[in-house]
Amino acid sequence: MPVRFLKNASELADVSWETPLPVQVANAKPVPADTLLVATTTVTADANRDLLGSTSTELPTLDGCMQYRKLVWFYFRAGADSTTYRILARATDHNGAPLGAGWQEIVPATTLPGAANSWNRIEIPATTDGYYDQYRIEVQRTAGSNYPLTSKIVGVR
């Protein structure tokens, strides 16, 4: 008894070399991650300064991130000077408008890990899933001198 399948919605076909069983190819999906940002930031003592150098507190660092379960922040810090980072997030409506003013603070001011010339990785959020539309990632030097911080942020679906 040959294996038969519905071809072109109306035609019943036998499985053969000419008409193979249509299957979905496994293990060929695109990598579910996108590079969202590569930026070099001069880490200063400015309060509320984000990775893009903005101190405008309502301005997101990343927008349109709803499709991402998690963001992965890779960074290379050239200096060991004491630094804190803070991560804010919020949702927008379908027009892209934030649902309200301000942010949800998902990581309060926390010491930025890593020594001088070190590679580091931070998951955003650290636990649970994200799916926020907008993120604001702030860094602030609390002692020492300014130094460059080079970041790459990847969105993972």
Interface with another protein (CB under 8 A):
34-41, 52-54, 56, 58-64, 76, 78, 93-98, 117, 134, 148, 150
List phi, psi (to 5°) of 25. -70, 125
- CA 73 from centroid of its chain's CA atoms: 7
Identify which of residues 98 and 107 has a Cβ nearer to another protein in the complex.
98
**Shortest Cβ 89–another protein spacing (Å):** 13
Q: Across-strand partners of 41?
A: 149
**Beta strands at 83-90 and 104-111: parallel, antiparallel or unpaired:** antiparallel
Q: How far is CA 39 from the centre of its chain?
A: 13
Between 13 and 98, name the residue whose CB sits nearer to another protein: 98
Closest residue by Cα to residue 135 from 40, 46, 39, 70: 70
CB of 127 to another protein, least distance (A): 25
Residue 128 CB, shortest distance to another protein, in Å, is: 22
Cβ proximity to another protein: between 64 and 113 the closer is 64
Q: Give min distance, CB of 104 to another protein, in A.
A: 15
